[in-house]
C-alpha cells in the first residue's frame, strides 16, 4: 500500500497491510473489548495496531500486547446513577508503549465508563441516556 502524507518531510512510504489473524486495531478497540466481555475467556496475547487517526501517517506494524481483565466496583460519577457502587469489568491492554485501562459496565451492553491511556490521559462517562432509538423517526418522537 502506498501512503502519502500532506506534511513535507514526513514523507511518502509503502507499508504492508497484511495483519496477523490475532491483530486488534486500536481504532476498533472499544467495540472488540465489549464483545470479548461476553466471552467466558478473553485472549491474553494479541497483536495491536496503533491508531491511524492521526494528522501524520503512522506505521501499521502490529505490536505484541497482552490483555487482562478483572471485576471491579465503580462509584458512578454520571448524572442519575445514584451513589451505590456498581459492578464493572476493568480491561488492561499492555504494550511496550504502556498500559491502557478500560472500565466497562459488567452487564450488557457493557457501557464504557472510563478510560486511562498510557500517557496518563483519561476519559470518564458524565452522562448516560437510553431511549427507544428505533422508535425515534419523527421530530415529535425525540426525547
pLDDT over threshold 60, residue 98: yes
| Residue whose grid cell is 487517526 | 53
pLDDT over threshold 90, residue 62: no
Whole-model pTM? 0.77
Question: Per-residue confidence at 140, pLDDT binned at 50, 70, 90?
Answer: confident
Please check whether residue 26 is in contact with residue 65, taking contact to mean a CB–CB distance below 8 angstroms. Answer: no
What's the grid cell of residue 127?
A: 452522562
Residue closest to 45 by CA, chosen among 80, 20, 13: 20
What's the grid cell of residue 93?
A: 491492554
pLDDT tens figures, 21-43: 888 888 888 999 998 888 887 78
Question: What domain count does the chain have?
Answer: 1
Pairing of strands 98-105, 23-25: unpaired
Residues 6 or more apart in contact with residue 79 via CB below 8 angstroms: 126, 127
Residue closest to 92 by CA, chosen among 75, 64, 116: 116
Residues 6 or more apart in contact with residue 23 via CB below 8 angstroms: 46, 47, 48, 49, 62
Cα 143 to Cα 131: distance, rounded to the nearest angstrom: 8
Question: Domain range holding 38?
Answer: 2-141
Amino acid at each position: 500500500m502506498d501512503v502519502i502524507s500532506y506534511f513535507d518531510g514526513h514523507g511518502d512510504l509503502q507499508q504492508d497491510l497484511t495483519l496477523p489473524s490475532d491483530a486488534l486495531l486500536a481504532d476498533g478497540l472499544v467495540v472488540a473489548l465489549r464483545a470479548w466481555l461476553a466471552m467466558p475467556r478473553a485472549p491474553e496475547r494479541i497483536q495491536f495496531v496503533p491508531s491511524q487517526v492521526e494528522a501524520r501517517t503512522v506505521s501499521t506494524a502490529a505490536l505484541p500486547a497482552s490483555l487482562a481483565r478483572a471485576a471491579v466496583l465503580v462509584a458512578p460519577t454520571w448524572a442519575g446513577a445514584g451513589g451505590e457502587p456498581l459492578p464493572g469489568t476493568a480491561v488492561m491492554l499492555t504494550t511496550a508503549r504502556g498500559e491502557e485501562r478500560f472500565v466497562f459496565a459488567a452487564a450488557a451492553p457493557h457501557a464504557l465508563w472510563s478510560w486511562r491511556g498510557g500517557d496518563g490521559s483519561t476519559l470518564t462517562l458524565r452522562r448516560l441516556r437510553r431511549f427507544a432509538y428505533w422508535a425515534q423517526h419523527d421530530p415529535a418522537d425525540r426525547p
